[in-house]
Amino acid sequence: MSTLHTWEKVDDYLSERLVQQDSIMEQVLQNNKQADLPAIDVAPNQGKLLNLYARMIGATRILEIGTLGGYSTVWMARALPDNGKLITLELDPHHAETARQNMALAGVSHKVEIRVGEALEQLAKLREEGEAPFDLIFIDADKPNNPFYLQWALRFSRPGTVIMADNVVREGEVISKHSTDPRVQGIRNFMDLLSEEPRVSATAVQTVGAKGYDGFALGIVQE
């Protein structure tokens, strides 16, 4: 029977064969660990998946909701051209400072703007500032607010914008409609909104690996 240990070994195998994670990305994870950040970064193969999605759509503008130490940020920023722009939103100043150091280490600081504060407030400020639509929007922050993040993502979208959300299965708890976990209810409300949104064609997949049993949602904004 498959176990978490097996999933981790398979992730290691896939990453070793296909991701070829370099010393900089390894140092980013080490920096996060030394800064006592929670070990909830995407896995290396998931990070490269984000990178490939950004490259496939030719993204030049990316919005990330939830920075942590910037591991996923670096993966996506590397997919951008030199004149590309990635705005990432982080609540915790300590996390944001660690991310800034990691952006400098990876040589992508010129592409990345880290905004610190409540994500919903930062999104409202972006709107006030007249920020243009994004090509790719990655939602990976506090799950109770996922429905609101989706609504904001749509405001910052155009036809063709890709919207992704991480951690939407939560060890299968997403099907527990009576769950008292606000994170689970946040994801369920997010899924309800996504299913009813005519502007987005979406799907979701379950994943297993070094990060356990979870999944992500993926949608594209239509005409």
Domain of residue 59, residue span: 4-221
How many distinct structural domains can be found in the chain?
A: 1
Quote the pLDDT of residue 160: 98
Q: Which of 90, 84, 89, 60 is nearest to 158 (CA)?
A: 60
Report the C-alpha gap between 169 and 214 in whole angstroms.
Answer: 5
Report the C-alpha gap between 87 and 65 in whole angstroms.
Answer: 8
The secondary structure element, H or E, covering residue 164 is strand 162-166
CATH code assigned at 78: 3.40.50.150
Q: What does residue 13 show for φ and ψ, rounded to 5 degrees?
A: -60, -50
What average pLDDT score do residues 17-46 get?
93
Cα Rg, the chain, nearest whole Å: 17
Quote the pLDDT of residue 20: 76
What average pLDDT score do residues 111-130 get?
98
Per-chain mean pLDDT for the chain = 96
Q: pTM (2 decimals)? A: 0.96
Quote the pLDDT of residue 51: 98
Query: Over the stretch 167-216, which tens digit does the pLDDT of each residue have?
Result: 999 999 999 999 999 999 999 999 999 999 999 999 999 999 988 999 99
Quote the pLDDT of residue 123: 98
CB atoms within 10 A of CB 13: 11
Three-class HEC string of 180-203? CCHHHHHHHHHHHHHHHCCCEEEE
